[in-house]
Amino acid sequence: MTRIINHMGRLMNQVLRTLESPARPPAESYPVAEAIRRGDFGSARLNFLKLPRQSQIRMLQTMDQSAIRRLTLGLPDTTLAHLCAQGPAPLGKTIVGALPEGRRRGVSLMCEQHRRQHS
């Protein structure tokens, strides 16, 4: 019974993420999406960092959690903190949750600081 409830919870989260996110990544993020499809996360990160911040946020909203985890592990903490602070709350939670415990705390603190500065 618990497994069924957990499975239903995961399915509902996926549905909500799909409804909240745009149907596809922005056009300028094609090099990032293509590199991720090939499994070349180094190139994906470099191209991702060249995107404007709002395009980065839209790109992350179209990705699944495993791709977000692989992409964010190599991004600078300050970039992740800005994305968390400027993006929707569910995206921020996903980004922070994808990080190892040591980085998670630092990025969370920077994110809160950025939110306070911009509000």
Is the confidence at residue 106, as pLDDT, over 70?
yes
* Alpha-carbon span 34 to 19, nearest angstrom: 23
**pTM > 0.85: yes or no:** no
Summarize pLDDT for 76-88 with one digit per residue, the tens: 999 999 999 999 9
- Name the amino acid, one letter, at 5: I
pLDDT given for residue 19 in this prediction:
53
List the Cα angle 35/40/41 in 5-degree steps.
90
Residue among 81, 16, 22, 94 at smallest CA distance from 55: 22
Q: What does the pLDDT average to over 59-73?
A: 92
Cα atoms in the 13 Å half-sphere on the side-chain side of 98? 24
* Alpha-carbon span 49 to 68, nearest angstrom: 14
pLDDT given for residue 72 in this prediction:
93
Count each helix (H run) and each strand (E run) in the chain, helices first.
Answer: 8, 0
Residue among 60, 62, 101, 66 at smallest CA distance from 80: 60
For the chain, the average pLDDT equals 86
- Give the confidence band of 91 by pLDDT, cuts at 50, 70, 90: very high
Q: How many Cβ atoms from other residues are within 10 Å of residue 10's Cβ?
A: 10
